[in-house]
Structure 1
Amino acid sequence: MNATATLPSPEQMYQAIVDRDVEMEGIFIVAVKTTGIFCRPGCKAKTPNRENVEFFASTDEALAAGYRPCKRCRPLERAGSVPVWLTPLFEQMESAPSRRWTNADLQSLGLSPIRVRRWFQEHYRMTFHAYLRTRRIGLAVDGLQSGDDVLSVALDHGFQSLSGFRESLRKWTGHTPTDAKHKDPILVERVLTPLGPMLAAGNDAGLCLLEFVDRKMLPKQFERISKLFSQPILPGSHPVLAETARQLEEYFQGKRKTFDLPLRMDGTPFQSAVWQQLREIPFGETRSYQQLAVKVGKPTASRAVGRTNGDNRLAIVVPCHRVVRSDGHLCGYAGGLWRKKRLLQLEQATSSAGQLALPLDIDE
């Protein structure tokens, strides 16, 4: 998406690599003349001198100029991809999804338990062992809903006793095995995008959450949807999540302007009206909070519209990033104002010849 966007000034880009500013990810690539390597802005390698660097809008441009990708920050991969050092662990987890892992098991693979814990906390918002427990619970729920007996399900998924399985199920889902047979969980899966990884949550009823993983309010959002829909939230895959990932990929490639996904957007009548108006803002255009307030028949409710905008649980798909202040300044985006600017630049560059309809200034 960065090939069509205007780059920041060289001074801004150099300062970004000095600061290792991850918010510049996806905006530019830095190449080091003395090593022949190109990196992400947030790469933790030693900062090169200013006279030894040049900047590119994309990895393709850096490759065409003869540079090779950094092995440390891996700029050819999507941010949030499973790193090489962690790949063997994921392969073993896939081959034996019900296995109980210990720190000694991790160390036998040459992995630091602390490093693994930190990676899972950053990318899944839970520790490695918590992730394993919820994953095993999810597989157990699938077994129960398929008609398997409770004892077999418990033993097959690594639980040492029936009582231990019941307690874990109650702790993580709030349900007994009997209840779990008839209560579909909300499944959560990571989706990689050029602006960083996102978490998508949904099931047969539709997509109910799509947020960037670094959003501070994400844990509270999960609590809200669990209570709102009275369903447990567990790691897992689902066709609606796979379709969400596919449509997001097309969106970032400039091949899709609207999303065709089943959505669960339960809210108050006012919230529902605002969210519907968000979906009606055309691709590549913007509206002000005041304009939305008028549209929903509440011309003095600009602040309430802003709060409802912030309560939107479906980033990009329900395009709250298309709402700006009346003077064109950007403000109020939970995913980060830098992402809001990038999304608008992508859309406006795709819909026209790259002419921005608004200045896209960020109001700090």
Structure 2
Amino acid sequence: MLFDLPSHDTLYAALLARDPAYDGRAYVCVSSTGVFCRLTCPARKPKSENCTFFASIGDCIEAGYRACKRCHPMAPAAESDPAIAALLSALDERPDIRWSERHVAQMGFDLSTVRRSFKRQFGMTFLEMARQRRLREGFEALSSGEKVIDAQHSASFESPSAFRAAFARLLGCAPADLHQGGLLCADWITSPLGDLIAVSSASHLHLLEFVERKALPRELSRLRDFAKGDLGLGRYAPTDQVEAELRMFFAGKGAKFNIPLAFHGTPFTKDVWHALCDIPAGETRTYSELAKAMGRPAATRAVARANGANQIALLVPCHRVLGADGALTGYGGGLWRKQKLIEIERQYTKGRAHDPS
């Protein structure tokens, strides 16, 4: 896992040196290209600020990165399992196929065996991997200004209705409803814990959510209403800033975010979100402790509801709030992400402990 790896600087030096000692033990995700590589990759070396390091291929895939075609980081897993090798090869060779269980069965593979193999190696099923790739390619095509029909073909959807339905599930609207630019702009960014949708205006970040969060379509609909329909594709400076600051955060170089945030909620809800931002990285609170800190000790349940309504993940750290017994509870991005975030942030607690100031 990320927090068990050597420091970012150590791993970046190993990347520059193509140190074989880290082969299979660490991988680098490059935000400028969207690919992940072995540290021994012969490709031109990226800048340090564009690199995030992980201990497993599964973490790289969950973060939305594609395997490098020069160093083939997924090759060892494929070599150890003929089914994985055949399916990964087919996925690359036939991007036009809308993969289903029928296609897997037609290749002669047992569905349950394939599902277990991919889950074990990559943390997701083959069909989940294929669907994520298609949706991202469609979103990127639209963001670059392509027509809906061209984006549909780029994403390998057989019909406009299927493409519209997939987009509606993700973003809560048809792709044709998302024009280029607008008062608010939505863009797709990657993180070590998975792909996110960021929505910003020219001056503030309004939303940051993991793409599979069930509440995302509803949240985007509210922002569309707020902007009187003027929500489009693209990015403003706050999206660039959050992408850069997230890289620093996951690299262990800083837990402070300086992006101006736009909160959309009741006065009480906004107070809860401000209180969340006051919890230092590496520390946690219970819902009742948060309510007491706000001077509202009887409002524990209301605080919990406001916590769950947060639509700016990571920056408004609702993951730092636990149940009364210290258990992980109620995180829209998934409890596994909440656990990883708490573990990652422990490095910042250690840093404060050794800070002589």
Partner of 2:336: 338
Q: Secondary structure at the match of 2:297?
A: coil
TM-score, structure 2 as length reference: 0.59
Conserved 8 A contact 2:3-2:343 = no
Report the alpha carbon displacement of residue 189 of structure 1 after superposing the two structures with TM.
Answer: 0.6
Partner of 2:216: 218
The AA in structure 1 aligned to 2:336 is W
Please list, as runs of the form range in 1=range in 2, the aligned pairs for 1:180-191 lying within 5 A after superposition.
185-191=183-189
Match of 1:134 among 150, 153, 177: 177
The AA in structure 2 aligned to 1:197 is D
Distance 1:264 1:328, change over 3 A: same
Q: Secondary structure at the match of 1:190?
A: strand
Please list, as runs of the form range in 1=range in 2, the aligned pairs for 1:132-171 lying within 5 A after superposition.
133-135=176-178, 137-138=179-180
Q: Deviations over 1:206-242 (max 9, x none)?
A: 0111111111111111222333454622112211111
Conserved 8 A contact 1:284-1:344 = yes
Distance 1:92 1:247, change over 3 A: closer
Q: Secondary structure at the match of 2:180?
A: helix
Conserved 8 A contact 1:321-1:340 = yes
Conserved 8 A contact 1:4-1:346 = no
Percent identical: 30
Partner of 1:2: 2
Partners in 2 of 1:288 and 1:260 — Cα distance?
25
Partner of 2:80: 34
The AA in structure 2 aligned to 1:134 is D
Distance 1:252 1:102, change over 3 A: closer
Gaps in structure 1 of 5+ consecutive residues: 6-20, 60-71, 140-183, 354-364
Partner of 1:201: 199
Report the alpha carbon displacement of residue 117 of structure 1 after superposing the two structures with TM.
Answer: 1.9
Conserved 8 A contact 1:123-1:213 = no
Distance 1:122 1:345, change over 3 A: farther
Partner of 1:113: 158
Conserved 8 A contact 1:4-1:349 = no
Partners in 1 of 2:187 and 2:228 — Cα distance?
19
Distance 1:91 1:206, change over 3 A: closer
Q: Over the residues paired in the alignment, what is the CA RMSD in angstroms?
A: 4.6
- Of the two, which has the highest radius of gyration? 1
Match of 1:101 among 145, 149, 152: 149
Please list, as runs of the form range in 1=range in 2, the aligned pairs for 1:1-364 lying within 5 A after superposition.
2=2, 4=4, 25=62, 31=77, 34-35=80-81, 47=113, 80=132, 86=137, 94=144, 97=145, 99=147, 101=149, 106=153, 111-114=156-159, 117=163, 121=167, 124-125=170-171, 130-131=174-175, 133-135=176-178, 137-138=179-180, 185-228=183-226, 230=228, 232-352=230-350
Distance 1:122 1:250, change over 3 A: farther
> How many residues align structurally?
263
Partners in 2 of 1:312 and 1:100 — Cα distance?
31
Q: Secondary structure at the match of 1:138?
A: coil
Partners in 1 of 2:244 and 2:127 — Cα distance?
25
Report the alpha carbon displacement of residue 333 of structure 1 after superposing the two structures with TM.
Answer: 0.9
TM-score, structure 1 as length reference: 0.58
Conserved 8 A contact 2:288-2:297 = yes
Report the alpha carbon displacement of residue 122 of structure 1 after superposing the two structures with TM.
Answer: 8.2
Partners in 2 of 1:310 and 1:196 — Cα distance?
19
Partners in 2 of 1:235 and 1:25 — Cα distance?
23
Distance 1:126 1:120, change over 3 A: farther
Conserved 8 A contact 1:80-1:196 = no
Partners in 1 of 2:197 and 2:292 — Cα distance?
33
Partners in 2 of 1:350 and 1:3 — Cα distance?
11
Report the alpha carbon displacement of residue 82 of structure 1 after superposing the two structures with TM.
Answer: 6.4
Distance 1:213 1:111, change over 3 A: closer
Q: Deviations over 1:101-142 (max 9, x none)?
A: 379x93xx8944249728953885368xx32x234x335xxx
Q: Secondary structure at the match of 1:211?
A: strand
Partners in 2 of 1:201 and 1:342 — Cα distance?
24
Partners in 1 of 2:201 and 2:265 — Cα distance?
18
The AA in structure 2 aligned to 1:138 is Q
Report the alpha carbon displacement of residue 324 of structure 1 after superposing the two structures with TM.
Answer: 0.4
Show structure 1 runs of 4+ deviating over 6 A: 36-40, 72-75
Distance 1:100 1:33, change over 3 A: closer
Partners in 1 of 2:346 and 2:186 — Cα distance?
31
